[in-house]
Amino acid sequence: MSTDFSIPSSIARVLLDQAAIEARVKQLADQISRDYADVDQLILVGVLKGSFIFLADLCRHLSIDHRVDFIALSSYGQTTTVTGEVRLLMDVKANLEDRHVLIVEDIIDSGYTLSYLMRSFLTRSPASLRTCVLLSKPDRRQVDVQIDYLGFEIPDVWVVGYGLDFADRFRTLPFIGELDPQVYTNE
């Protein structure tokens, strides 16, 4: 069954359609399955809320033993402005010591969120720690963070859909679209 989605008027253009996302997520999962084939057990840590759809699709394509856990972080503020301050709202349940950990994130922008998370997880002595990020805006980077698995590089625009939001809206659009700047300049 396919659902017809009309494109909301707040979307300036579609950057990545459903088929492009599906194909890339499958490729990433295949690569992860190969790379971790000899590993005892992989723990995927999804960063809430933005990664929940990406993670759900990614993990269902994995052919290796894995567990799923979540962490919730928040950069201060509701809008598109990044302040560089990161708050831990909810920690993982799993003990990460001696575990192979893969952080799954929706998007890397300044890099502050992932860099904070990497530093925090490294103090827990995981057996290995890598990152899997669906989208990257390279022009916006303030801190250098290693991305081991990357879906797509995108230009410096605010994107929504496939888990990504603006003020908690637009997360369940099946594609990734550029938000019309009027939506955030008017708020």
Which residues are annotated as catalytic?
109
Q: What DSSP string describes 125-139? A: --SEEEEEEEEE-GG
Which residues, including other chains, have CB under 8 Å from residue 117's CB and lie 6 or more apart? Answer: 47, 71, 73, 86, 103, 105
Q: Does 15 bind ligand IMP (CB under 6 A)?
A: no
Q: Does 75 bind ligand IMP (CB under 6 A)?
A: yes
Q: Could you tell me the smallest distance in angstroms from the CB atom of residue 97 to ligand IMP?
A: 25
Considering only 112, 121, 162, 175, the residue that binds ligand IMP (CB under 6 A) is 112
Considering only 20, 68, 82, 127, the residue that binds ligand IMP (CB under 6 A) is 82
Q: Which stretch binds ligand IMP (CB under 6 A): 31-39, 53-61, 119-127, 155-163?
A: 155-163
Q: Cβ–Cβ contacts within 10 Å for residue 116, how many?
A: 19
- Residue closer to Mg ion by CB (options 50, 177) is 50
- List residues bridging with 160 in a β-sheet: 177
Residue 164 to residue 176: CA distance in whole angstroms: 8
Residue 181 to residue 10: CA distance in whole angstroms: 8
Q: Which stretch binds ligand IMP (CB under 6 A): 24-32, 37-45, 124-132, 152-160?
A: 152-160
Tracing tokens 């992989």 back to the chain, one arrives at 42
- Residue closer to ligand IMP by CB (options 25, 114) is 114
- Residue closer to ligand IMP by CB (options 10, 33) is 10
- Residue closer to ligand IMP by CB (options 35, 138) is 138
Which residues, including other chains, have CB under 8 Å from residue 121's CB and lie 6 or more apart? Answer: 45, 96, 101, 103, 129
Contact positions vs Mg ion (CB under 5 A): 50, 106
Contact positions vs ligand IMP (CB under 6 A): 50, 75, 82, 105-113, 158-160, 164-165
